[in-house]
A and B are shown apart, each in its own frame.
Chain A
Amino acid sequence: MTGRLLAYRPGVRDGIGASVARRVLPVVLLLALLAGPGSAQDTVPPTPEPPPTPPATGGWGAFGVSPRPGTTVVSATILFAHGSASDPADASGSAWLTGEVLRRSVEAALDPELRASTELEVRVDRTRTAFRLVTLPDRWRDAWEALEEGVFDRRPGQAELEAARAELEEVFAFESDAPGRDFENEFRGLIAGARSPWSHDPRGRRADVANVTLDDLERYRSRHYDRSAATVAVVGALSSAEAAEVVTGEDPPPDGYAAAVDFEPAGATSGQSLWSAPERLELTREVTSSWIGVAFPVDPTISRTVLEMLVHRLVEELDPDPPPPGTFSVRVRLEELRGRPLLTVEAAVLPEAAERWEARIVESVELIASEELDPAFFGWHRRHFRSARLLEEAAPEAEGLRRAADLLRTGRPRELRSEIWELQGPQLARAARTLGPPRILVMGPDLSAEVRTP
């Protein structure tokens, strides 16, 4: 038992009165006796509780499962924190082709009935590679085992590489000299530097793709397809136990997800901004449209859900229905560079509208940053965002990809519904205010050039 010795010294009158002191002092002395110096030596320190054993992930970096009894399929996503930015300098396209060739290899290994009951997709971007499987519940185990073996163990065949290469070559031929591709390359070069692998087309350079070999792909796979750094998310018509039994071989994680003790989430949580000064580049091309790209570095401490609503809000401003005159397309995305989030806005517009559009993009961010929305009006925006976001995840594989990405970024999946409910207007404004200085690229024709007649 411990007591507390009150700050009272006998004989000192503290203004309460001597009679009070006489009543308090015996109690104080009794407490002091009970908490005397001998008691510390007699108390046995409590045995520290052993730390809780973290749920096993079966060798994966992190694993999550979300049973969805109201669906008819099972979806599983394997996500790696590597993409085309990890291509070797002399073998661009390695990430892309590795993913595509392994996908073909997995499909070829499925029996015809399973192949007919399964959809397998691979997505490779600059910093991520995702294998996404959707199959029927009664063939879930077979499909998963085929995926795992194909992604990690089985060496693909030359035929699969040639088929993937031929398909890519057709796309390159079609896009040859396409101004949209030119714009993408220039915009990415402005963001990360023209020499950075991050800036290159995720599909690689045409010349490199023509020369890539199976050994190149094996080197890429052995270096970057690391189970212990990858995340898996399963969503669908199965229980947590059924999912865990197949993926990890362990008991299901009690909270629906688990991360290995040594798993390092890929998302940055602090650090310097990607850049500190704005930059603007104007390029003239003989084209009939103009392209504008604006990139903002994002504060990595801002919640992902807030950032997604910021993207949604920007789309509302920049791409309403009906679209503003002179607009061909608008795209607003959250991307990643060197582990830090990046917000990019790209618009294809009539050349005469380019200047107005460049200002519009920057002003939209400033508008959101300065908005002090009435809670009811913010609630309307949030309602629209919630509908769009939840309907996006009506398909189990969409939720699966998002959960795998959350696990990779932070080690835990978001509960989107509750996070959206908790969004407040000031959070959105703050997120917009903390966007860093923009890097802007405008590419289009020179409208001031005189028309020469023969």
Chain B
Amino acid sequence: MKKGGGRLLAMTPPLPDAGPGAGRRPRPIVLAHAVVLLAAIPGATSLPGAEVRAAQEAFGSGQDRVASQHPLEPDTVYTLPDGPRIVTLPAPGAATVSLRLSIPVTEAPAEAGAGRLLQMLAVERARGKAEPVGSEVTGARTASGVAYTVSGPVEEIDHLAWLLREVAAAPSNDVWFRRARTRLVAEAREREETPSGRIAAELRRAIAPASAPLGGTTGTLESLTLAELRNVWARTHRPSEMTVVVAGDVPLELLLLTTLDLGSPSDGPTTLPSRDAPRLTPNQTEVIRYWYGEGHMLSGVDDPRGDVAALLVAEQLRSLDRDFETTVQLWEIDSRKALVTFGAAYARDRQAMRSALRSALDATREQLTPAKVVEAVARVRARALFGARTPSGRTAFVGRHLEIAGATAAGTVFLEALDAVTVESMRAFFTELAASPALEAEIRP
């Protein structure tokens, strides 16, 4: 499959440049173009004559159209001028359609939690409009940004497109903002005041000291204003940075409608603010047990061996006869992944717990067998494919791997690499991980 996007030209005449500080594009002209497209759609699956020929010529020069039968391999990729990238997945005859909009969000330290707040407000706004029709709206703050998925019957594509514009719209309601901020502050406080939240925060600081927690801190959230949040939105929600992954049987013309008026205008702030993040009050939360954790950065961006390793390490720790608790997780931090293990034990078992975690990678490597690796690979593969069995699951799978690895076919590359995992490649993986210094964190009573 060819990589990269195609360019759609001459579908609509370029809109007049509104100029800096003029705000959004003039509404009447945008509506006129939408009316032209909408008028062409009912009862037709293609635009009238001249526009179709222009589009075909444009597509012929640079589109990526792949005759793919794999449900997780993109069928077509379109990139609109100053607009989002649209990735379509084959779904002939499907009764429902899902559209996943992902937007990269980078926060300054003082803005930590802004992306999560934008996501919460967007979902709340859109769900109020989705519920009367029965459409579904979900949202998530990912390691790289925010992602929203809208789903419903294919016949509701225009309504779903409207929901997409809603989630990408600027926050504006001060009452909703304050209410959402209060909820996030409570979440942050819970993280900061629980032992498991503390150890996770300590590990994150050890692994990625410059990276702010995705959910923010009580300090950054309490000092965030609606005006600052709107600045984050204006800086990040640019159509040219967005990607829409579509799984459904929807004609091209209707898909293009989904991208009208998405997000922020092209002008607006482009740099991160320089305000320092509020100083965090040292966490004085008392713990009863000893907590210890380790993180190991993975070298590959989207290496499936990390997922397989997490399963194998978890099994190895579960097999121990022990009186302490352990957790194994695979984190995405910025553009990388980290294998994280942490545990908790009472005083009499603290040494055993720390020893088990410190030796987990070596012990897992030593106990590897072909059968264990085959089963772990099968479980990772099944988890991925089962999760992708619905339209929303497919868009999530393709969208997440695209965000992680930057290529539209990254999902299928991941699956192919997974099929190539062997006991030898897993041994090499564990050796490489164990050779790099572990990033540690500890909390004592």
Smallest CB-CB separation from A67: which chain B residue?
A: B93
Q: Which residues of A contact B89 (CB under 8 A)?
A: 70
Partner of B71, one of A134, A237, A390, A417: A237
A72 to B388, CA, bound (A): 6
Smallest CB-CB separation from B153: which chain A residue?
A: A390
Interface status of B286 (Cβ within 8 A of chain A)? no
Docked-complex contact A395 and B390, CB < 8 angstroms: yes
A-contact 0/1 string along B58-74, CB 8 Å cutoff:
00000000000101100
Smallest CB-CB separation from A75: which chain B residue?
A: B389
Q: Which residues of A contact B156 (CB under 8 A)?
A: 383, 387
Docked-complex contact B375 and A394, CB < 8 angstroms: no
List B residues 384-419 near A (Cβ within 8 Å). 385-386, 388-392, 394
Q: Which residues of B contact A212 (CB under 8 A)?
A: none
Q: Which residues of A contact B134 (CB under 8 A)?
A: 383-388, 391
Q: Which residues of B contact A385 (CB under 8 A)?
A: 134
Shortest beta-carbon distance from A187 to chain B in Å? 30
Smallest CB-CB separation from B151: which chain A residue?
A: A391
Docked-complex contact A116 and B95, CB < 8 angstroms: no
Interface status of A117 (Cβ within 8 A of chain B)? yes
Partner of A391, one of B72, B91, B152, B247: B152
Docked-complex contact B247 and A394, CB < 8 angstroms: no
Docked-complex contact A72 and B95, CB < 8 angstroms: no
Partner of A117, one of B91, B136, B378, B392: B378
Docked-complex contact A117 and B95, CB < 8 angstroms: no
Partner of A393, one of B93, B95, B155, B371: B95
Interface status of B236 (Cβ within 8 A of chain A)? no
B-contact 0/1 string along A119-138, CB 8 Å cutoff:
10000000000000010100
Shortest beta-carbon distance from B71 to chain A in Å? 5
Docked-complex contact B152 and A70, CB < 8 angstroms: no
Partner of B132, one of A73, A114, A384: A384
Docked-complex contact A113 and B153, CB < 8 angstroms: no
Partner of B375, one of A116, A391, A417: A116
Shortest beta-carbon distance from B401 to chain A in Å? 14
Docked-complex contact A119 and B90, CB < 8 angstroms: no
Q: Which residues of B contact A391 (CB under 8 A)?
A: 96, 134, 136, 151-153
Interface status of A112 (Cβ within 8 A of chain B)? yes
Partner of B381, one of A136, A383, A386, A417: A136
Q: Which of A112, A114, A390 has the most CB of B within 10 A?
A: A390
Q: Which residues of A contact B95 (CB under 8 A)?
A: 390, 393, 416-417
Interface status of A2 (Cβ within 8 A of chain B)? no
A73 to B71, CA, bound (A): 10
Docked-complex contact A69 and B90, CB < 8 angstroms: yes
Partner of B389, one of A384, A387, A396, A416: A396
Smallest CB-CB separation from A416: which chain B residue?
A: B95
Interface status of B54 (Cβ within 8 A of chain A)? no
Docked-complex contact A112 and B375, CB < 8 angstroms: yes
A237 to B90, CA, bound (A): 12
Q: Which residues of B contact A49 (CB under 8 A)?
A: none
Q: Which residues of B contact A396 (CB under 8 A)?
A: 389
Q: Which residues of A contact B379 (CB under 8 A)?
A: 116-117
Shortest beta-carbon distance from A384 to chain B in Å? 4
Docked-complex contact A394 and B390, CB < 8 angstroms: yes
Smallest CB-CB separation from A236: which chain B residue?
A: B389
B-contact 0/1 string along A213-252, CB 8 Å cutoff:
0000000000000000000000001000000000000000
A388 to B375, CA, bound (A): 37
Smallest CB-CB separation from A139: which chain B residue?
A: B378
Interface status of B135 (Cβ within 8 A of chain A)? yes
Interface status of A71 (Cβ within 8 A of chain B)? yes
Q: Which residues of A contact B391 (CB under 8 A)?
A: 70, 394
Interface status of A321 (Cβ within 8 A of chain B)? yes
Docked-complex contact B153 and A387, CB < 8 angstroms: yes
Q: Which residues of A contact B389 (CB under 8 A)?
A: 71-73, 134, 395-396
B-contact 0/1 string along A92-120, CB 8 Å cutoff:
00000000000000000000111011110
Interface status of B17 (Cβ within 8 A of chain A)? no
Smallest CB-CB separation from A70: which chain B residue?
A: B91
A344 to B93, CA, bound (A): 35
List B residues 237-278 near A (Cβ within 8 Å). 247
Smallest CB-CB separation from B247: which chain A residue?
A: A70
Interface residues of A (CB under 8 A from B): 68-73, 112-114, 116-119, 134, 136, 237, 321, 380, 383-388, 390-391, 393-396, 416-417
User: 3 closest Cβ contacts across the A-B interface?
Assistant: A387-B134, A70-B91, A116-B378
Can you sample 13 A-B contacts with CB below 8 Å?
A: A69-B71, A69-B91, A70-B71, A70-B90, A70-B91, A72-B386, A72-B388, A112-B378, A113-B374, A116-B378, A386-B155, A387-B133, A394-B392
